[in-house]
């Protein structure tokens, strides 16, 4: 059986109905948007269903879109079925005031560090994560550096005079 | 051969001050600790190679233990997370010790003006010589080492117990 976009989307919609909020194809690559409250259920199905069998979580990352009211923070899952060599993308959006979503680290062990990274940079809270703390940045950092409201430049730098940068 | 320092010479004796003799010995037997984190470290490897040959300055003996090192050479970008480690390495070095910041990143953060990179190692440890460049050529690194030699040669034996030096270390919270 060859796994493809239509088959996967139909199967997901039949199984989860309203929790599949939308989908789009970018080139031939399927993107599915899901209800963030149902993410663990959907991911577990994708992992354990015999026909889908997404055994490999390629990547898990965050996105910040400050203009999307009440769905500012995104969590993106890149899934890969190694046997069929088929990949697709799952997205779940969260409000920035309560960015919490269920962990996937009990489904793919590799999600553990990637969720810590997403927490580190975007402040997404992964519920039931075994060890949700910063992984790449210094422990005492007080903000989430990839959120758009924080400056990229280091604020302690003294040799940059705004006059010389036209600011 | 190193030239003898100024002194009074006669048949069968030579008299000079202890400071200059010790300074001469220190300057010509520096043991560097290469703290190489990126491309400046590659330039340093060329500096150690036969073309440029830092051994000519008595500094061919790399000390990968800070306890036996005289000269800390920080070459490359230091992330903020690396900061406490660099400071610990500095603290473990015995006096007298010198620090050379090689390249733009170690000196000022360089192009990495960002939340994760330390904006110059002088935020956490005192620096004696800055070598500019991105990365600097081996000649520039050698010039930096020669400036350190000048410092070592002319340093008073009492400098490390002076009040100014203690204040300098205290300003970095180093015991």
User: What's the CATH code of the domain at B131?
Assistant: 3.40.50.12280
- Does residue B18 fall inside a structural domain? no
User: Hey, are the CB atoms on A156 and B116 less than 8 Å from each other?
Assistant: no
HEC per residue, B88-99: HHHHHCCCCCEE
Cβ of A150 under 8 Å from any chain B Cβ?
A: yes
State the average pLDDT over residues B15-34.
92
pLDDT at position B51 is 94
Across the interface, which of B81, B114, B119 has its CB nearest the CB of A138?
B81
Interface ipTM: 0.77
Window A:105-144, CB contacts with B under 8 Å: 136-138, 141
Q: Is the pLDDT of residue A163 over 80?
A: no
A165 has pLDDT over 80: no
Task: Report whether B71 contacts B59 (CB < 8 A).
Answer: yes
CB pairs under 8 A between A and B: 34
- pTM (two decimals): 0.85
CB-CB under 8 Å, A159 with B108: yes
The domain A5-165 having CATH identifier 3.30.565.10: the answer here is no
pLDDT in tens, A32-90: 999 999 999 999 999 999 989 999 999 999 999 999 999 999 999 999 999 999 999 99
Residue B87 φ/ψ, nearest 5 degrees? -65, -40
Mean pLDDT within B71-98: 94
Q: How many CA atoms lie within 13 A of B120 on its CB side?
A: 15
What per-residue confidence (pLDDT) applies to B130? 96
Q: Is residue B13 part of a domain?
A: no
Pairing of strands A56-64, A73-81: antiparallel
Query: Considering the domain boundaries, does residue B3 fall inside one?
Result: no
Which of A127-131, B3-7, B135-139 is predicted least confidently? B3-7
Model confidence at A1, pLDDT cuts 50, 70, 90, reads: low
- Whether B73 maps to a domain, the answer reads yes
Q: Write down the pLDDT at residue B100.
A: 96
Q: State the total domains in chain B.
A: 1
Nearest residue to A42 via CA among A7, A82, A11, A86? A11
Domain ranges of chain A: 5-165
Query: What does the pLDDT read at residue B137?
Result: 94
Is the CB of A145 less than 8 angstroms away from the CB of B115? yes
Burial B128-143 (b: 16+ CB within 10 A, else e): bbbbebebbebebbbe
Alpha-helix runs per DSSP H in A17-56 = 39-48
- Res A167: pLDDT: 67
pLDDT of res. A155 = 74
Of B20, B18, B12, B13, whose CA–CA distance to B4 is shortest? B20
| Cβ-defined contact of A153 to B114 (cutoff 8 Å) | yes
Phi, psi torsion values for B98, nearest 5 degrees: -125, 155
């Amino acid at each position: 059986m060859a796994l493809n976009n239509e088959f996967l989307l139909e199967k997901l919609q039949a199984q989860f109905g309203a929790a599949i909020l939308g989908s789009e194809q970018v080139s031939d690559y399927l993107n599915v948007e899901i209800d963030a409250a149902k993410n663990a259920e959907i991911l577990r199905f994708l992992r354990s269903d015999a026909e889908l069998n997404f055994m490999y979580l390629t990547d898990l990352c965050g996105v910040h879109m400050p203009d999307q009211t009440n769905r500012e923070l995104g969590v993106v899952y890149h899934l890969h079925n190694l046997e069929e060599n088929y990949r697709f993308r799952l997205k779940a959006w969260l409000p920035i005031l309560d960015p919490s979503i269920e962990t996937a680290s009990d489904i793919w062990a590799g999600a553990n560090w990637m969720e810590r990274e997403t927490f580190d940079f975007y402040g997404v809270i992964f519920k039931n994560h075994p060890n949700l703390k910063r992984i790449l940045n210094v422990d005492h950092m007080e903000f989430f550096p990839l959120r758009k409201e924080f400056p990229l430049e280091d604020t302690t730098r003294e040799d940059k005079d705004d006059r010389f940068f036209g600011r | 051969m190193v030239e003898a320092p100024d002194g009074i010479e006669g048949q069968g004796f030579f008299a000079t001050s202890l400071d200059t003799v010790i300074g001469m010995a220190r300057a010509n037997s520096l043991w560097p600790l290469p703290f190489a984190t990126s491309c400046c470290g590659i330039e340093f490897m060329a500096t150690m190679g036969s073309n440029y040959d830092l051994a000519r300055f008595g500094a061919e003996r790399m000390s990968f233990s800070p306890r036996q090192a005289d000269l800390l050479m920080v070459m490359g970008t230091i992330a903020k997370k690396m900061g406490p480690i660099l400071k610990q390495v500095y603290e473990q070095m015995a006096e007298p010790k010198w620090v050379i910041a090689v390249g733009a990143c170690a000196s000022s953060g360089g192009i990495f003006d960002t939340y994760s990179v330390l904006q110059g190692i002088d935020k956490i440890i005192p620096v004696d010589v800055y070598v500019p460049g991105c990365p600097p050529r081996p000649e520039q690194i050698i010039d930096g080492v020669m400036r350190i030699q000048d410092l070592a040669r002319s340093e008073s034996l009492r400098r490390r117990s002076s009040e100014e030096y203690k204040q300098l270390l205290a300003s970095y919270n180093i015991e």
